[in-house]
Amino acid sequence: MFHHLFKNRFHESIACAALLAGALTLQVMWIVNLLVVRIPFIARLYTIIPSVGPISGMYLKAIGTFVFVFLIAGWYWRGKDCSHHRKSLLSFFLFSTLIFFVMTLPFVYSFSVRFE
């Protein structure tokens, strides 16, 4: 009876928040991986489960980042027109994916130059 009063809304803010959270999580993931490889203190800091190693802390960090960014971005964009962010967020997401794949290659993140 009242169905014409309710419009089936397209919650673009959630989609934008998901894309932003996904992209930022990818960036955080490769940066944390690089820090864990380079700095022993960071590796020890992220070792929450000793039998697994630093990857346990890295996974928790990734989950935390995604949830935090998604909630903050979703709250910020809620009820706002975010259609102008659509293309830029998609580009950032694609770029982050590419960067993650390149920066997590073993011979890239373990690359070092020694001066003697």
Residues near another protein (CB under 8 A): 8, 10-12, 14-15, 18-19, 21-22, 25-26, 29, 33, 36-37, 43, 49, 51-56, 59, 62, 66, 70, 83, 86-87, 90, 93-94, 97, 100, 104-106, 110
The CA distances from residue 107 to 67, 74, 77, 101, in Å, are: 31, 37, 40, 12
Q: In angstroms, give the least distance from the CB of 27 to another protein.
A: 12
Q: In angstroms, give the least distance from the CB of 116 to another protein.
A: 16
Of the candidates 18, 19, 20, 46, the residue with the CA atom closest to the CA atom of residue 31:
46
